[in-house]
Amino acid sequence: MDSMNDSLSASSDPKTAIIRQIQQEAAINNARQLIDKMNNHCFQKCVPTPGSSLSKKEETCFKLCMEKYMSAWNTVSRQYISRIQRSSAGGNGGFGL
């Protein structure tokens, strides 16, 4: 990841640079994680018996499945964050995963 090291040394403020790098890394990590899980789940759903190539039907299924997985991700995210907010508002800080 040379581009990151470049952006690090280019910035004169080490504080901003390190935060920016960590944010970038977290974003990459997040995307990778999503792609990984999406691929696993959608493969399971859309390719029950693998043929010699991906069929048109399987490809279409993948597209829909990806959109569906992302909307599931968003639903979970909304619900989880509202739960955290509720439990911290109620003085019950005992959530944890």
Partner 1 sequence: MDLSSASASQLDFSKLSDYEKRELQQNLQNEMQKAKIQESVHNLTDICWTKCVTKGISSGTLDRTEESCTQNCVERFLDANEAVLKHLEEMRGQGGV
Helices 14-46 and 2-10: crossing angle, nearest 10°? 160
Nearer to partner 1, 12 or 52 (CB): 12
Using alpha carbons, select from 21, 81, 11 the residue that is nearest to residue 89: 81
Nearer to partner 1, 37 or 55 (CB): 37
- Residue listed under structure tokens 């955290």: 84
Q: Which residues bind partner 1 (CB under 8 A)?
A: 1, 4-5, 8-9, 14-15, 17-19, 21-23, 25-26, 29-30, 33-34, 37, 41-42, 45-46, 61, 63-69, 71-73, 75-77, 79-81, 83-84, 94-97
Nearer to partner 1, 54 or 84 (CB): 84
Using alpha carbons, select from 29, 23, 26, 30 the residue that is nearest to residue 8: 23
